[in-house]
Amino acid sequence: MAAANNTNTAGTPPSPTNGTETVYSGPIQSAPKPKEEEATAGFDWTIFWLVVGIVVFVFLWRKGYIASFRKFIGETREQLHKCTWPTMDELKQHIVVVMISSVMLGAFTVFSDKIVRFIVWDLLMGS
């Protein structure tokens, strides 16, 4: 079979005919760029969300939520300044205690599981 040029005069591929595949080998054309007035004619979502944000802020301000949140932050900072924080040595000691406790609890769980398994499966079930 002879190879045929599969492009028409507009540069677009023709549709396949008779169950044969056609391969488009013409130039790739990009979409035309919009004119400047068409590009700016759309809805500006940035301004929309800015206005929505301002409206929500004003609503929260009028209801007193902004002032109460500010008071909450101030009181929280005040309470955190009253706290006593552990020194580095105390922190290391607490970490060691937690790690040892975790290992002991894990060992106890494994040991208890082995005992219960032995009692149930070996002694009671006899298998």
Answer yes or no: is 4 within a domain. no
Answer yes or no: is 16 within a domain. no
Judge if 74 and 103 occupy the same domain: no
Contacts with 24 (C-beta within 8 Å, 6 or more apart), sequence order: 6, 7, 12, 13
Read off the pLDDT of residues 37-65 as tens digits, 9 standing for 90 and up. Answer: 555 567 889 999 999 999 999 999 999 99
Read off the pLDDT of residues 3-42 as tens digits, 9 standing for 90 and up. Answer: 555 555 555 555 555 656 666 666 676 666 666 555 556 7
Answer yes or no: is 32 within a domain. no
Judge if 96 and 126 occupy the same domain: yes
Answer yes or no: is 106 within a domain. yes
- 8 A C-beta contact, residue 13 and residue 21: no
Q: pTM of the full predicted structure? A: 0.38
Distances (CA, A) of 39 to 19, 46, 48: 42, 15, 18
Enclosing domain of residue 70: 44-83
Judge if 79 and 95 occupy the same domain: no
